[in-house]
Amino acid sequence: MNTITHFINGQEVDEQARYQDVYNPATGEITGRVALASKEKLEDAVAVAKAAFPAWRSTPPLKRAQIMFRFKQLLEDNAAEICNLLTAEHGKVTDDAMGELRRGIENVEYACGAPELLKGEHSRNTGPGIDSWSEFQPLGVVAGITPFNFPAMVPLWMYPMAIACGNTFILKPSERDPSAPMFIGKLLKEAGVPDGVFNIVNGDKECVDAILESPDIQAVSFVGSTPIAEYVYSKGNANGKRVQALGGAKNHAIIMPDADLDNVVDALMGAAYGSCGERCMAISVAVCVGDDVANQIVGDLKSRVSELRIGPGLENGQEMGPLITQQHYEKVAGLITNGVNEGAKLLVDGRDFSVAGHEKGYFLGGSLFDHVTPDMEIYKTEIFGPVLCVVRVDSLQTAMDMIDNHEYGNGTCIFTRDGGAARYFSDHINVGMVGVNVPLPVPAAYHSFGGWKRSLFGDLSAYGPDSVRFYTRRKTITQRWPSSGVREGTQFAFPS
């Protein structure tokens, strides 16, 4: 049985303490175990990261970038093995795993531009013989707490840029699928990152609390559910840390009467059921403007959802794999039951689905609801499973008001051929990431990722330009060299 421990100061370490089982969600079988760090083990990692910081912050940005170039190549060379680890512990199909890794690699590519991104600003002669400039200096030891649904991509949102900016880093990945983060972390060492600059500490809430309480950790990045994001943000801030905490979502797609409905159905299938719906950018609500639109969309979706190819992610041709755990399966199935009890019309029921030979796997078929209303639990809650809710409205403004009234504001999209409607929607909707005929408007690595309202706690979004600002602090220096032998006398007025 494989045991995942911790990666501290360039080597795997164990503390012979608590462990948690790791499962293959396609079979329900235990495939390994992961160590759960104590507060003392976390502080061991903090100590080595703190000791490594002075030398690393003094390393020229160009040399840091050269390591990132080598790291990118190693990720590409080992992509197949990384994706197999992702599928074995998360369950997503291999094509989806490869897409996840590719998006992560794009963030490494962005970090390769650190020498340009870290250039400060300089002004000569801001006053007589006075020059002024700003620098972007690293914070010190920083940490990332990442979710189960993207065990490769989300960590790569964080530590490549944090490290390229001169910080040292501690990663606390999800304990549900820890193998891929550990494998990738070893590739970073192979690329040339000095021991202590990057560390992995596996764990549960005890480890998270230790990160939030450690006085030597300057900043924390988090991605997960909104209740935990709010907890991380509040506790981290109370302990004087800079925090960015990305939370949950309930992403709506508005379908206008003039939309290309065949393309809409294709888009909704991928956006709602890809990765078994375990994405913070998944479309979980289709808002149809008019009954004619709704009837056609529902009619086409019903057969498509019923025919989803579902099975173990490593088998070719599958479109959807299992959910991550038995507990999450029961949660999603329970929400489907709630939807029926609340009066929504369940057109496709995934609760009785099973895969021959994998009856103990956490497989749930795709589910489709019609006539969902905003007062229903399935509308209000982030289901995080393969469930799409269809809501019927009579106008674009009604649809936008409904989206604006939801507590989450992560992503949304509109399907239309009307440029005016698309422009109005993009300008006025209170959501952080907007797509026009794009169902999953995930920004490219050189932009930044982040929602509004209760989908993001903190002032700066993830990756892209915001990541440079998050992982550095600005220092402004004003300098003057007075002429030798010239005395100017005391001035009591504020300089101008």
Dist. CA 45–CA 303, nearest whole Å: 52
Rg of the chain over Cα atoms, rounded to whole angstroms, equals 25
Same domain, 82 and 187: yes
CA distances from 493 to 279, 327, 483, 496 (A): 58, 68, 21, 9
Same domain, 72 and 26: yes
Residue count of the chain: 496
Same domain, 285 and 160: no
Instruction: List all residues 6 or more positions away from 214 whose beta carbon is below 8 Å from its beta carbon.
Output: 42, 43, 46
Same domain, 47 and 165: yes
Pairing of the two strands 242-246 and 217-223: parallel
**Alpha carbon of residue 62 to chain centroid:** 27
Q: How many CB atoms lie within 10 A of CB 2?
A: 10
- Could you tell me which of 268, 295, 294 has the C-alpha nearest to residue 283? 268
Same domain, 193 and 302: no
Residue at 485 is within a domain: no
> pLDDT truncated to tens, each residue of the chain (496 aa)?
799 999 999 999 998 889 999 999 999 999 999 999 999 999 999 999 999 999 999 999 999 999 999 999 999 999 999 999 999 999 999 999 999 999 999 999 999 999 999 999 999 999 888 999 999 999 999 999 999 999 999 999 999 999 999 999 999 999 999 999 999 999 999 999 999 999 999 999 999 999 999 999 999 999 999 999 999 999 999 999 999 999 999 999 999 999 999 999 999 999 999 999 999 999 999 999 999 999 999 999 999 999 999 999 999 899 999 999 999 999 999 999 999 999 999 999 999 999 999 999 999 999 999 999 999 999 999 999 999 999 999 999 999 999 999 999 999 999 999 999 999 999 999 999 999 999 999 999 999 999 999 999 999 999 999 999 999 999 999 999 887 766 777 878 876 6
**DSSP E strand stretches across 208-275:** 217-223, 242-246, 251-255
Residue at 461 is within a domain: yes
Dist. CA 396–CA 414, nearest whole Å: 10
When divided into structural domains, the chain yields a total of: 2
Residue at 493 is within a domain: no
Same domain, 189 and 305: no
Residue at 129 is within a domain: yes
Q: In terms of C-beta density within 10 A (0-12 exposed, 13-18 middle, 19 or more buried), how is residue 69 classed?
A: middle
313 HSE (CA, 13 A, CB side): 29
Residue at 489 is within a domain: no
Same domain, 142 and 262: no
Same domain, 242 and 257: no
Q: In terms of C-beta density within 10 A (0-12 exposed, 13-18 middle, 19 or more buried), how is residue 425 classed?
A: buried
The residues with which 413 forms a beta bridge, in sequence order, are 253, 435
**CATH code of the domain covering residue 133:** 3.40.605.10
**CATH code of the domain covering residue 417:** 3.40.309.10
Same domain, 144 and 283: no
> Which of 112, 165, 280, 413 is labelled catalytic?
280
Same domain, 193 and 299: no
Q: Is 276 a catalytic residue?
A: no
The residues with which 456 forms a beta bridge, in sequence order, are 246
Q: By residue range, what is the domain housing residue 399?
A: 251-436
Same domain, 432 and 464: no
Residue at 459 is within a domain: yes
Same domain, 189 and 240: yes
What letters, b where the CB count within 10 A reaches 16 and e where it falls short, cover 288-305? bbeeebbebbbebbeebb
Sign of CA dihedral 447, 451, 457, 458: positive
453 HSE (CA, 13 A, CB side): 18
Residue at 449 is within a domain: no
258-261 contacts: CB < 8 A, separation 24 or more? 258/416, 258/417, 258/418, 259/293, 259/415, 259/416, 259/417, 259/437, 260/415, 260/417, 261/293, 261/296, 261/297, 261/300
- Between CA 367 and CA 370, with CA 369 as vertex, the angle to 5 degrees is 155
Question: Is the separation of the CB atoms in 180 and 486 below 8 Å?
Answer: no
Dist. CA 286–CA 278, nearest whole Å: 17
Residue at 491 is within a domain: no
Dist. CA 76–CA 73, nearest whole Å: 5
